[in-house]
Chain A
Amino acid sequence: MNNKSLVIISAFTLITAGTALLLFMSADSEPQAVETRDTAELQEDLLDEKDRRQKLNDELAHLQEVYNQFQEEEDPELVMDDVLNDLKRAAGVTEVSGEGVVLTVDVYIDEHYEGGGIRHIPPYLLRMLINELNVQGAEEIAIDGQRVIATTAVREANDQTLVNGSWLSYFPIDVKVITEDPESLHHAMMSSQTRERFEYENLQFESETVQSLTVPAYDGVQRVRHMTPAQEG
């Protein structure tokens, strides 16, 4: 009698527990994971848009200031000088000083290394580094004394890496970065995936924040032969 009821109770309990577990799991697992990812992605898109709004507003404020200067300044030629100087800076044809970060790229060999000599940073890796620096808010970059401008090419010839058509020197290689927030860029770079990628290629970089550094001007010629300003409709 007692045994019987015990069996019934146990059976009932097990079924309930099983059903509960099933319910619990099916209710919770997949759909939520999918939806939180979607939400996270959307939220990231939103942040991107807000970032852009910030940049556009800065740009607009700057232009409005120039515009006001043109209107108020008795000597508009002076304003034109300012405009020209700003553009030169943006195009990378002047040297720029400011606070920032210096990365030093060097060979990284542990005791298990059995490959040959490491002679250069592969271009894809250097591009990855520049990409990451720009994501982290780099304003100006110079690699081994070569200023990175819009039309800078990073490529490989004869197992050597060229930046702006110049061979990089042997390790260690300096990467100078000017940025508004050196501290956060430094930390972001030291914990970046890029740093791990460097280690796969038996390279590593150290990073150091600096109060003041100077990146050189781009020393090549930026030609404009095939493009003209497009008329806006």
Chain B
Amino acid sequence: MKVSRRDMLMLLGGGAVGTIFSPIPWKLLRDSSVWTQNWPWIPVPKRGAAATAASACPLCPSACGVRVRTIGGRPVMVAGLPDAPGQRGALCAAGSGVHQLPWHPDRVRTPLRRVGGGSPGFEPASLEDAVGAIAAAIRETQGTVAILDGRPGRVLGGAYREFLSGRADTCVLVPPSAVRASMPVLRKLHTRDPGPLAVDLDVVDTIVGFSAPLLDGWGQPGLVQQRMHEGRLRLFQFEAVQSRTALMADRWIPITPGTERAVALGLARMLIRSGRVSPAFGYADFKAFVAAYEPWTPRRVFEVAGVDEATLTEVADALAPTGRVVAIGGGDPAGGPLPFEDEASIQVLNLLLGAMGQAVKAQRPLADDPADAASDRVATRDLCDVPDGSVGVLIADLAMAGATVPWPILARKMAPQGLLVSLTPVLADLALHAQWVIPTAPAFTAAHDCPGHPDLPRSLRLARGFTPAGDEVVDPVDLLNRLGTALGIERQATVADALDDMMALRLRALHRAGDGTVFVAGKDPVAMAEIDSPEDVLSMLRAGGCWRTALAAAASAEEPAVEAGDDQTETAPPRPAMPFALEQVAAKDSGGLVNGFQMYLIVGGGVERTAGVARSPILSKVDQESGLRPFANVARVNPATVASHGLRPNRRWRVSTPQGAITMRIEPDPTVPPGAILAGAEPQGALPWNAGNPVDLAAPDGKTWRLLPASITEA
């Protein structure tokens, strides 16, 4: 048979058509898709024995209990610890990625020394060189030697004060948010110091929030929201922006940015005039007190804050002096605290409403706590209160602070030739401005003690180390010992050579005091007095337990929180009921705009935007891709303002404050008040999305940066 050319073409054509209808092409497609998905550079998850461990999240003062899933001892997942007291299984987005922080791309692996001038260039150095240079600077400086303790309440605070107590002109500095939280300010309103105060959330049935980040970093956000949903807690929130807290509040009352004080004063006046003041409230000169509030009429409050009389009356009517109402300010963890005058005005409401002794209780002091070591010898001060140019050497420990410190404010406090040393696991934020960077242990690589929020009952958890920290990590206590040796300073009271030892000492002190209760998830609470030994306490805390102090019973019953005039005896000299001059606050109007800056920049971001050390790469990714919490390169502006200012969202705009400018794009957002720019804080680091930090637009002489005069021009 002769095969023609036509036959050949038919055979080939038929074969091609037949192949199309056969499984072969599909098999090839499938196999090729499989073959092209297996490459040596794609990581394969390691296997190992699965286990679950309880620990604590050290990233912020909420100090939430966490349940850690481990594979072969390596943490692979973190979730909230169910049944944990004051938390109810809640964990924020930052905490959900805490186990990734040991591999943060900006992790510091060796001591670094700054080289060159302005640009942040560093070179590796030895710890001996670092100790030598820091000791020399301490020896030679004419200024104050200070340590910035970002997270007061840790045992490290005691070690810091002990070290500083060996030298004159020293102090411990703390971020403004730590000392201008609600309860520390309320404490200052008393003639006789009632000791540390705490909000007893189990008692509170109504919260009046003044831009308080109740669901974004204040105390126990999970507890607050769950109590709200159970109908056991009402929340009235006065706030300019519809924040997440405002969104969830029973009533959000929008106010003009920066006018919390005016609202608080107006509300106080209304309570006084309507007689809804607690009988327990006393004041040396009540007439003068009332007179101070008299100018804050509803009309004036409306003019200043934009809250009409009907709304203010509605809120005032809902507040009864039952002692179960508490007013909270605080401010955003990233955006900074309220000014002291604002917070004080808010806290007066707690006095008027009789919160003392009920919703707010005094805490028993703990004797011999290593965390309080040398507190009588070394002063603790708000960073903003230190004279400009006075700090000769500053060792900054903001690693697990949960609070922001703007560089312009810190820079202003430094002496011209001052030395800044940063103790940090991550080269970001203030570390970028330091002369020396000392690597410390990131979260989940070493044990950390985790004290709770300054507004809540004193508590303590222990965060465990799951991953080896690495030889390069420096124990801050060891660094202080080396510095002490170089300077000839002998540390005294606690005499511990390492952080672990100091924590053991603290547990001994807690056990000795026998105060409070230890809660372990899934088990009955155990009174400290019933625990046999400090070692047992340690094992309970290592198992994810939480120690919480016992709150003193009704402080006002034992000792009047605010002395009434008739309480003063002849032997005691007459004194004002409050050391803080309320009259001056009442007379002071809220600040206006600065010439040339016709808008407000509101800085926020919550606890997740306080420091680079708190941001896992996966959290940065989620923010980058979701836009849920935009980075600092996005300015959220009210659509009406966008239209009136001709701000085209597709162009780049320069947001300026008197301190500087950063470039952003505009995103219309109707939850932002007209005339305002809302921007999230952005911890600076080497990552590509770090474009600029609105926090660094703060005024160097300012005491807060939550609201800055601003303008927008095309970039």
A in complex with B: no
Task: Give B contacts to A, CB under 8 Å.
Answer: none
